């Protein structure tokens, strides 16, 4: 079992296993374990946002003693510990898992999965958004399937940032330090028990790198940390904040992640068979492995071939700002004379990150990752095509269609994102083993009892609205002094009204303000006395994204406009805990990125796992996920049209003529039967095609296992 966090109190011997249970995030997606912690103290469960470590820290000793004598609690406790032991048994040998059954001879060949952020639980807020959530879901699905994955990231002691909105709606960024004692993180000792595990030289100094261990079921994630006493004060701050707006600091973070990550794994005796970089932030991991081969006397071309053969690279965005580039002089200042270890040729080092056509004065992280990976993929079918177009110049002798970039469409972790009542409904309908059956009869989802589904959805909607009121009450007590903030926080929303949710990063291309293009037309939709509509928004703009902050401010202003009668809400400080409430509790999910800038987009998948249909442009996953009966699609605008104007017109029309009438059309039972059919189709498609388990199985079959076995791909190296 996992090592117990140091911040836990003394536990009676009979229930001391609660410490190990709380220390492994397996509990967070296991219904029996969640129910056990909830039963300890339901008030604290909600107050501490489902963090069992904080719950145990704040229990009176008498309460703990009473739990150790409560027969009903002990029966549940014993059953959960037995379940965890059974499911996690064989972490080293694979256990009775899908991967062990399929590839038993490979279970001891680790896969190193590098990512700049991991969203695993709200108690460890070292993530900003979709990339981190995808990485977290990847790790959880790998655990479920027994894929021998090891995560490598950075421990940002100040996380991303906490969002606070001024009275005028302008976003302010607040930093709060993470207290490791309230998390499942435990420090990893170095070879001789010291904090330093590896050393990386950057900006003329040696930087000592430590690590924290985070158990995620069968998977372990290592978060690197430079906040060590031995380091220069400037270097201690290297891992303080995620996605800092200071380019030099961001470059040095990525150097620590890539080079330091490889060295930490080596120091811990971990020898990965496959190396997977999730986005270009981790590209220096490939460079460090190239250096290792060269240091061992391997000729340069053969060293490149060996690195490529065991490397996987996933790119997540077609947006230029998502691909890090750094000027050569800044890179040289960061890495020093590291290039001398790459055949002693400075030019050879910089050629790894050179785009053959553009930006010759900068180092491209994505180009480096593509150049040193034999297996490259986008994250949806459409994004795969777009990626081949964007990076075609790296293969000038190939047609775009022949560029060796494939795709693995993203998926979301069912155990994490599906609400317990929906899962229980499916248990009763499909049988309790439906999750583990080889070939579930997904068409049976369409036979779900409509009245039961509608009742469960109503419960989840009530949970969301109650959560919003309690959050507004808390902020009113602690922060707000203006009554208008209460209406804008959703306290006037009604449970029987069609509720549309939008919660994304506030980048301009995601167009959170598209609905407000014609305010009067929107007002008529929202305040219709017979068929009203209400909107819930949430999301953060990057601290350096002024246009994104302006979009957020415009949306926020409408929450205070009395013409809309309190039917628009903005929820501050979007994070995992709030995300769960939203995707489970709204009636419809809204996603309107400007085509083709959405690589995948997984929030709509999470909603669909809760039978919440989506209305979206045909971009990312929706281009392949829309079946015609599982939601609504905004058709592609004509090539010469104003896409924003055309998409807004289509959005209004779909709402007015299709979505709203369908939601309010009820049968003799008072149930919206046509809308429920769409809900069931949304659930069915998500279950069959868009789970993280399907995604990780595809990575294993098409990427990891072939790399482990040394199978050759047709992915010839890009030109420099």
The larger pLDDT score, comparing residue 602 to residue 478, is at 602
51 and 123 inside one domain:
no
Report the pLDDT value the prediction gives residue 482, as an integer from 0 to 100. 84
Dist. CA 670–CA 664, nearest whole Å:
10
Poorest-confidence range of 173-182, 301-310, 600-609, 656-665? 173-182
Predicted confidence at residue 91, as pLDDT, reads 46
Q: How far is CA 199 from the centre of its chain?
A: 29
548-592: per-residue pLDDT in tens? 999 999 999 999 999 999 999 999 999 999 999 999 999 999 999
* pLDDT higher than 50, residue 520: yes
Per-residue pLDDT averaged across 419-447, rounded? 91
Q: What is the pLDDT of residues 20-32, one digit of tens each?
A: 999 999 999 999 9
Tokens 């690279």 — which residue?
Answer: 313
pLDDT at 716: 64
Average pLDDT, stretch 168-192?
90
Residue 80's pLDDT band (cuts 50, 70, 90) = very high
How many whole angstroms separate alpha carbon 385 and alpha carbon 255? Answer: 30
Of 202, 444, 186, 474, the closest CA to residue 336 belongs to 202
Whether residue 223 sits in one domain with residue 128: yes
**Percent of the chain at pLDDT exceeding 70:** 97
pLDDT at 94: 44
In a domain, 4, yes or no: no
Of the candidates 193, 269, 247, 255, the one whose C-alpha atom is nearest the C-alpha of residue 224 is 255
**425: in domain:** no
Highest mean pLDDT of the ranges 180-194, 206-220, 434-448: 206-220
Q: Which residue has the tokens 């909603």?
A: 607
- 695 pLDDT band, cuts 50/70/90, is very high
* pLDDT (0 to 100) of residue 2: 55
Q: What is the mean pLDDT of residues 461-483?
A: 91
| Same domain (yes/no): 702, 665 | no
Domain CATH code at residue 367: 3.40.50.2000
Strand stretches in 306-392, DSSP E: 311-314, 325-327, 362-364, 375-378
* In a shared domain, residues 325 and 387: yes
Over residues 120-140, the mean pLDDT reads 95
- 8 A C-beta contact, residue 274 and residue 238: no
Burial 360-391 (b: 16+ CB within 10 A, else e): eebbbbbbbbbbbbbbbbbbbbbbbbbbbebb
Q: Are residues 115 and 219 in the same domain?
A: yes
- Distance between CA atoms of residues 289 and 306, nearest Å: 9
State the chain's mean pLDDT as an integer.
93
Query: Based on the domain organization, do 328 and 397 belong to the same domain?
Result: yes
Q: Are residues 206 and 349 in the same domain?
A: yes
Cα 445 to Cα 441: distance, rounded to the nearest angstrom: 8
For residue 535, what is the enclosing H or E element? strand 533-538
Q: What's the pLDDT band for 5 if we cut at 50, 70, 90? A: low
Alpha helices (H) in 587-633, listed in sequence order: 603-608, 622-625
Q: Which two tokens stand for residue 371?
A: 């150049």
How many residues can be counted in the chain?
720
On whether residue 713 sits in a domain, the answer given is: no
pLDDT reported for residue 350: 92
Is the model more confident about 211 or about 172?
A: 211
Query: Domain limits at 213?
Result: 109-410+698-708
pTM exceeds 0.85 for this model: yes
In angstroms, rounded to a whole number, what is the distance separating the alpha carbons of residues 40 and 47?
13
Domain assignment of residue 248, yes or no: yes
704 and 636, same domain (yes or no): no
| DSSP H or E segment with residue 174 | strand 171-174
The answer to whether residue 345 scores a pLDDT higher than 90 is: no
pLDDT score at 228 = 95
Do 466 and 587 lie in one domain? The reply is yes
How many domains, the chain? 3
Average pLDDT over residues 386-395: 95
How confident is the model over 618-655, as pLDDT tens digits?
A: 999 999 999 999 999 999 999 889 999 999 999 999 99
Position 435 in a domain: no
| Percent of the chain with pLDDT strictly greater than 90 | 83
User: Same domain for 575 and 620?
Assistant: yes
For residue 676, what is the enclosing H or E element?
Answer: helix 673-689
651 shares a domain with 586:
yes
Distance (Å, rounded) from C-alpha 508 to C-alpha 550?
A: 9
* Whole-angstrom distance, CA of residue 689 vs CA of residue 499: 26
5 assigned to some structural domain: no
Q: Is the pLDDT assigned to residue 714 strictly greater than 60?
A: no
- Comparing 664 with 159, the larger pLDDT belongs to 664
Tell me, yes or no, whether 444 lies in a domain. Answer: no
What's the confidence (pLDDT) of residue 588? 98
Average pLDDT, integer, range 294-299: 94
Find all residues with CB under 8 Å of 279, minimum gap 6, and list them.
Answer: 115, 116, 131, 314, 315, 316, 317, 322
Tens digit of each residue's pLDDT (9 = 90 or more) over 228-244? 999 999 999 999 988 87
Same domain, yes or no: 191 and 175: yes
User: Residue 445 falls within a domain, yes or no?
Assistant: no
Burial pattern 309-348, b for ≥16 Cβ within 10 A else e, equals: bbbbbbbbbbeeebbbbbebeebbbbbeebbeebeeeeee
More confident residue, 438 or 426: 426
Higher per-residue pLDDT: 10 or 690 = 690
pLDDT over threshold 70, residue 712: no
């Amino acid at each position: 079992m996992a090592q117990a966090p140091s911040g836990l109190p003394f536990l009676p011997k009979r229930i001391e296993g609660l410490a190990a249970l709380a220390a492994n995030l397996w509990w967070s997606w296991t219904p029996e374990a969640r129910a056990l912690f909830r039963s300890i103290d339901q008030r604290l469960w909600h107050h501490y946002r489902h963090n069992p470590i904080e719950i145990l820290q704040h229990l009176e000793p008498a309460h703990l003693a009473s739990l150790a004598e409560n027969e009903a609690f002990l029966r549940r406790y014993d059953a959960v510990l037995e379940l965890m032991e059974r499911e996690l048994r064989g972490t080293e040998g694979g256990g009775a898992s899908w991967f062990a059954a399929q590839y038993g001879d490979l279970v001891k060949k680790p896969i190193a999965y590098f990512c700049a952020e991991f969203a695993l639980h709200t108690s460890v807020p070292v993530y900003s958004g979709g990339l981190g959530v995808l990485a977290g879901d990847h790790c959880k699905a790998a655990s479920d399937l027994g894929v021998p994955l090891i995560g490598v990231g950075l421990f940002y002691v100040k996380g991303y940032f906490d969002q606070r909105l001024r009275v005028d709606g302008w976003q302010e960024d607040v930093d709060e330090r993470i207290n490791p004692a309230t998390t499942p993180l435990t420090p990893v000792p170095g070879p001789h028990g010291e904090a330093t595990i590896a050393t990386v030289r950057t900006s003329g100094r040696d930087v000592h790198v430590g690590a924290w261990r985070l158990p995620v079921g069968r998977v372990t994630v290592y978060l690197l940390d430079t906040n060590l006493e031995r380091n220069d004060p400037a270097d201690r701050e290297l891992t303080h904040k995620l996605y800092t707006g200071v380019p030099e600091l961001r470059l040095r973070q990525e150097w620590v992640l890539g080079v330091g990550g490889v060295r930490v794994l080596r120091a811990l005796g971990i020898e990965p068979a496959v190396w997977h970089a999730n986005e270009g932030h981790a590209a220096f991991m490939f460079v460090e492995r190239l250096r290792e081969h060269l240091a061992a006397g391997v000729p340069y071309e053969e060293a490149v071939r060996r690195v490529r053969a065991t490397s996987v690279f996933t790119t997540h965005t077609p947006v230029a700002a998502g691909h890090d580039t750094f000027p050569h002089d800044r890179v040289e200042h960061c890495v020093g004379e590291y290039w001398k270890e790459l055949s002693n040729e400075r030019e050879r080092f910089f050629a790894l990150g050179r785009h053959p056509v553009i930006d010759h004065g900068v180092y491209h992280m994505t180009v480096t990752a593509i150049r040193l990976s034999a297996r490259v993929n986008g994250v949806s079918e459409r994004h795969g095509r777009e990626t081949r177009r964007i990076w075609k110049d790296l293969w000038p002798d190939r047609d775009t269609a022949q560029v060796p970039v494939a795709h693995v469409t993203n998926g979301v972790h069912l155990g994490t994102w599906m609400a317990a009542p929906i899962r229980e409904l499916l248990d009763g309908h499909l049988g309790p083993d439906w999750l583990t059956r080889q070939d579930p009869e997904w068409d049976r989802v369409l036979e779900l009892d409509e009245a039961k589904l509608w009742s469960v959805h109503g419960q989840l909607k009530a949970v969301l609205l109650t959560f919003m009121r309690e959050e507004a009450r808390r902020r009113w007590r602690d922060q707000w002094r203006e009554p208008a903030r209460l209406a804008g926080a959703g306290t006037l929303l009604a449970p029987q009204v069609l509720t549309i949710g939008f919660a994304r990063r506030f980048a301009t291309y995601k167009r959170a303000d598209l609905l407000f293009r014609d305010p009067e037309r929107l007002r008529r939709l929202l305040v219709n006395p017979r068929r009203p509509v209400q909107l819930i928004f949430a999301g953060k703009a990057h601290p350096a994204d002024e246009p994104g902050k302006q979009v957020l401010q415009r949306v926020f202003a409408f929450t205070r406009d009395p013409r809309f009668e309190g039917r628009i809400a903005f929820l501050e400080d979007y994070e995992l805990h709030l995300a769960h409430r939203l995707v489970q509790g709204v009636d419809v999910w809204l996603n309107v990125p400007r085509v083709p800038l959405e690589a995948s987009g997984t929030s709509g998948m999470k909603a669909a796992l809760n039978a919440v249909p989506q209305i979206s442009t045909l971009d990312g996953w929706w281009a392949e996920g829309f079946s015609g009966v599982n939601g609504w699609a905004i058709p592609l605008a004509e090539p010469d049209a104003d896409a924003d104007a055309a998409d807004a017109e289509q959005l209004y029309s779909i709402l007015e003529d299709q979505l709203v009438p369908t939601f309010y059309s009820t049968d003799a039972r008072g149930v919206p039967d046509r809308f429920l059919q769409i809900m069931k189709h949304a659930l069915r498609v998500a279950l069959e095609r868009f789970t993280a388990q399907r995604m990780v199985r595809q990575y294993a079959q098409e990427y990891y296992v072939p790399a482990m076995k040394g199978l050759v791909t047709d992915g010839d190296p890009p030109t420099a």
